[in-house]
Structure 1
Amino acid sequence: MPRRLFLPEGIANAYENRSAPLACGETMHGALAAVRLVAALDVQPAHRILEIGTGSGYITALLARLGTHVSSFDRYRGLVEPAGRRLRDIGITNISLFLEDGRDGFAGGAPFDRVIVHAAFPAVPRQFLDQLGSNAAMICALGPGDGPQELLRLRKVGSRFEREPLGTVHYQPLAFGTADAL
């Protein structure tokens, strides 16, 4: 998937491992970080995926190439609309994009095989865990919004969850509501 298609103009090296600025004050993961996130999800062809934080649409595109369907939410029209155009332009159709904050997950699309949240929580919200199917996995950041957080992969095994630390990150806390002007 050509990452350069999802970057703002003026970024010289599309595969540099640095975050890139996006519209609305958001950022795009560095190339290596994005690939590691997707690899950690271990998406299989039959998987249905929930993504919170569409951003540029790059990770959405990677997930859509690997799984059967991606439902992706973002609170910014200035991100959702351009991401949708980019994804359509490269022929990715197994996605649904939503202009919503995603804080409640997507009960109407559950159960999901994989969930990825590009934001931090002080604790894992129960609604996301409830929307996981059996043998599903979720990646999210846990910790304070103003400091480092622990990136975790949670695997649903029967009725319990196994936690696997994936490293330290600095994500913004999950914001509520859609942006009024962006």
Structure 2
Amino acid sequence: MAVTSNPPEKMMFQLNLRRRGISDQTVLRTMEEVPREAFVDAADREDAYRDSALGIACGQTISQPFVVAYMTEQLNVQRSNRVLEIGTGSGYQAAVLSRLCVDVVSIERYRTLADSARERLKTLGYNNVEVIVGDGFDVPDSAGTFDRIIVTAAMERIPEKLLERLEPGGVLIAPVGPHHGVQTLVRVVRTETGFEHRELVDVRFVPALPGIAREL
């Protein structure tokens, strides 16, 4: 897969992340190294580094760079972590996470998106990402537990079954709120006594829906 990018645009991309408060150098370096242009539709390649969400197949989106960087920074991923992503999309967030941890399991309800993301990640060498077609509201028991969980679609509430997948000390990030409106990014930490919730910033994500999508 041949990918190209405009150096001035990529420089502004980095400057914008820093200006908006992203300070984790590892996250910034990873955002620079992952070729965002490889994860957007061909018609949108010139806009790949613009700080806005872009449409992809199945009516879904690739999140704006700042949101990807912010959620990644707030997740505080460690090299030894095992990470679960709900909502693979084009695979961009999974690619970023893969450079920060030991492995990523990403669940996508649209088979079309899962298949194309799996192939894209393989082609680009992100070999520690496993893409699964499945229901993010009902993660299979065989998937095990995770140190970090990131949800990249809006949930009206975080399911208890998903919280139970967090290891002690684990962190979950999810946009919570109405499907058609503004959501709040929530950071949940599993402690010895339960779960600590903290609201971060307002965001807008496409809805997270239960089940596996029927595609025509």
| Shared fold per TM-score greater than 0.5 | yes
1:52 matched to 2:86? The reply is yes
The alpha-carbon deviation at position 145 of structure 1 amounts to: 1.6
Q: 1:6 corresponds to which letter in structure 2?
A: F
* Paired residues of 2:61 and 2:206 also in contact (CA < 8 A): no
Residue 122 in structure 1 maps to residue 160 in structure 2: no
Q: Does 1:143 align with 2:201?
A: no
Letter in 1 for 2:39: F
Per the alignment, residue 18 of structure 1 pairs with 52
The answer to whether structure 1 residue 33 and structure 2 residue 105 are counterparts is no
1:92 aligns with 2:116: no
Q: What TM-score comes out, normalization by structure 1 length?
A: 0.94
**Residue 111 of structure 2 aligns with which residue?**
77
Following the alignment from structure 1 to structure 2, what is the Cα–Cα distance between the partners of residues 31 and 134?
A: 29
Cα RMSD (Å) of the superposition? 1.3
How far is the alpha carbon of 1:45 from its aligned partner?
A: 0.7
Larger Rg: 2
Corresponding position of 1:5: 38
How many residue pairs are counted as aligned between the two chains?
182
Quick check: which one's helix share is greater? 2
Compute the displacement of 1:3 (Å). Answer: 0.7
Q: Aligned with 1:66: secondary structure?
A: coil
- Deviations along 1:121-160, one digit per CA (max 9) or x if unpaired, are 2222100111100110000122122221111110111132
Post-superposition shift, 1:43? Answer: 0.7
Amino acid at match of 1:70: V
Identical counterparts, % of pairs = 36
Distance 1:66 1:165 in 2: 24
SS at match of 2:93: helix
Q: CA deviation at 1:40?
A: 1.2
Cα distance in 2 between the residues matched to 1:111 and 1:152? 20
**5+ residue gaps, structure 1:** none
